[in-house]
Structure formats: C-alpha cells, structure tokens
Amino acid sequence: NAGVTQTPKFRVLKTGQSMTLLCAQDMNHEYMYWYRQDPGMGLRLIHYSVGEGTTAKGEVPDGYNVSRLKKQNFLLGLESAAPSQTSVYFCASRPRGKDQPQHFGDGTRLSIL
Amino acid sequence: KQEVTQIPAALSVPEGENLVLNCSFTDSAIYNLQWFRQDPGKGLTSLLLIQSSQREQTSGRLNASLDKSSGRSTLYIAASQPGDSATYLCAVRTTGRRALTFGSGTRLQVQP
C-alpha cells in the first residue's frame, strides 16, 4: 500500500546543476501536484497535472519544468538550480471530483549550495 | 486571490486539555476545506475534509467546523495527548481552482 512515493528523499546540489524529482502514485489518481514548503510560508503550488500528458502552471512555476508521460508518474525538473530553490518539495495526488482529498508523499529535502 | 491565515502560529498545552485551532480565508467561494497533520520531516496526512455545504465533520477526538460566510474554520481537539504534537495545516479549494491554498500552519506541542 505505497500511496504516493517521492524519490529521492534528500539531495544536495551545486548552483547551476540540474536534477529531476520523481513522484509515483499507485492509486490511479487523475490529478497530481508539486508543492514547495518553505519556513513560515506554508505550501505553494509549483505545477500540476489533470491527467496523463497534461501540465499546468501553479503559483510559483519559474525555474521548474514538469512532465506527465505516464498517469502514475509526475516529474519535476530543475534545469539550472539556484539557492532560492532550496526547499522541501511535496508531491500530491487525488481522484477526479471536487471533494476528493489530496494524498501527499513524504517530501524531498533539496539544498542548493 | 485566496489567502489562508492560521492563528496562533504555535501553541503549547498540558496533556488532557481541550484546544481549538483557527483558520480563516478571504474568499468564501470554496468547494471544500481540508485539515492536515504534518509530523517533523514527514508529509501531510489528511485529517478531515469539510464540503462547502457542510457545517462540521468529526473523526474520533477531532471536530472541524466551517462557517463559509465568515470565512472561518476551527479544528477542535478533545482531551489532547502528547501524540497529537505536530503541525496542523488548513487548506481551502477555491471554486474554479484545481489546487489547494494552504495556511502556514499551527505548531502544537502537548506537554505530558
């Protein structure tokens, strides 16, 4: 009963490096989300997807790209990492329907030096 | 733009006390409001979801209320226990939006 799984759990990057965060869900959910959580600021939406092959921008999309090639996976990419992207990244998913709760992964803690 | 505020930012209570966490939001046109629990270094666990047509939801020692017209929700925790220590986050889904807007959370410490 895995739910939402995020890989990796921790990562340290140097400024300018690139990397991809992977989110996988085994609940056949249509909607998937990427958030970042910074101290004192709650969670902010980066990008989201309403189904396989679709993506849309959230509140803070700059510096990130996403892809949803398979329904169960949602990838978050940083092309050229910056110190301002140091954060904890959370992935979430939910079924279609306006009153369906979101299910979250355990997060990826990313530090950019 | 929807804004969600949680007060207080931190709260410390002795074990056994009943307590109330507050959440307010600026746009009352919402589909639902969700309360989450977050333990240190962990993800978010959904506690309760209240639909816009509902006034409250209960789960065990937790009771969440919603007053959409005034833009307020409360999470009531009865007979608090040290295991309740965590950060509690409130989030709303605004009408026409597909994602949640989160408050910054209330960090709760229950002292044994």
What pLDDT, on a 0 to 100 scale, did the predictor assign at position B43?
A: 87
- In this prediction, residue A1 has a pLDDT band, given cuts at 50, 70 and 90, of low
The chain A residue lying nearest B89, using CA atoms, is A42
The SS3 assignment for A83 reads helix
% of chain A residues with pLDDT over 90: 88
State yes or no: pLDDT of A109 exceeds 80: yes
For chain B, the helix, strand and coil percentages under 3-state DSSP, each to the nearest 5? 5, 60, 40
CB-based contact, B31 to chain A, within 8 Å:
yes
Inter-chain touch B102–A48, beta carbons under 8 Å: no
What pLDDT, on a 0 to 100 scale, did the predictor assign at position A35?
A: 97
* Burial label, A17 (beta-carbon count in 10 A; 0-12, 13-18, 19+): middle
Per-residue HEC secondary structure of A49-70 comes to ECCCCCCEECCCCCCEEEECCC
Separation between Cα atoms, residue B57 and residue B33, nearest integer Å? 11
- pLDDT tens-place string over residues A55-86: 999 999 999 999 999 999 999 999 999 999 99
- pLDDT tens-place string over residues B59-90: 999 999 999 999 999 999 999 999 999 999 99
Choose among B85, B69, B83: nearest CA to B27: B69
What pLDDT, on a 0 to 100 scale, did the predictor assign at position A101?
A: 87
Tokens 């959904």 — which residue? Answer: B46
- pLDDT tens-place string over residues B89-99: 999 999 988 88
Least CB–CB distance from A31: residue in B43, B49, B98: B98
